[in-house]
Chain A
Amino acid sequence: EIVLTQSPGTLSLSPGERATLSCRASQSVSSSYLAWYQQKPGQAPRLLIYGASSRATGIPDRFSGSGSGTDFTLTISRLEPEDFAVYYCQQYGSSPRKLTFGGGTKVEIK
């Protein structure tokens, strides 16, 4: 069973700064099946990135995903006030259908 470990647990940054979030898998993950989500308090998760690097519809281009194998990264190029939230990586498989989430990284205002 794949385990996803996200780091750091909390990232304290100021608006305008660059955020780099890490997701490490316990075994190799197909890049086609790695996603990133944003979640704000009281809201459902919002899909940002799928297939490791493709932005979902309507997601600003300051969000980018990269990586392969066991190491994946979500980068927010310049933090906007609305970007302070918790971010989760997710591995998804299709046969059988299964999802695995990382523990999350909180991006907070410094």
Chain B
Amino acid sequence: QVQLVQSGAEVKKPGASVKVSCKASGYTFTSYGISWVRQAPGQGLEWMGWISAYNGNTNYAQKLQGRVTMTTDTSTSTAYMELRSLRSDDTAVYYCARDGRLTGTTHYWGQGTLVTVSS
């Protein structure tokens, strides 16, 4: 079965960087892209961007351009999301997600990674 397992919670200071991993299993990793979505405490869902696991093409949300980088390691079936110059309003749960074969949208989700930015 499809599984996405994310790295553990992080606490960072303002201005630092964080890199969250998302290890995929149960399918051919390069057949699907990975989206990243975040959710600030008590708030809604915000799409951060997408990466093709096939060729590394990316599309980032405009508000995060220049601060976010998404990569993949096909040898370990792992996707990464790095966010730089962290601010307090980056405090959120970060999710990776994969499309369903038939649904065409984010169907399989990781468990989420809490990133806390605090001085």
Chain A residues within 8 Å of B, Cβ to Cβ: 32-33, 35, 37, 39, 44-47, 50-51, 54, 56, 88, 90, 92, 94, 96-104
Contacts and interface: CB of A to CB of B under 8 A. Distances in A.
Interface stretch (B9-17, B71-79, B106-114): B106-114
Nearest to A44: B109
Nearest to A32: B104
B33 A51 contact: no
Interface residues of B, number: 22
Contacts of A44: 95, 97, 109-112
B100 interface: yes
Greatest chain B CB density within 10 A among A39, A50, A90, A103 is at A50
A51 B104 contact: yes
B59 A101 contact: no
A103 B106 CA distance: 17
Contacts of B116: none
B103 interface: yes
B35 A99 contact: yes
B107 A98 contact: no
Contact of A98 (B44, B46, B47, B109): B47
B59 A47 contact: no
Nearest to B4: A44
A45 B109 contact: yes
A35 to B, nearest CB: 5
Contacts of B107: 47, 50, 56
Contact of A97 (B50, B110, B112): B50
Interface in B30-56: 33, 35, 37, 44-47, 50, 52
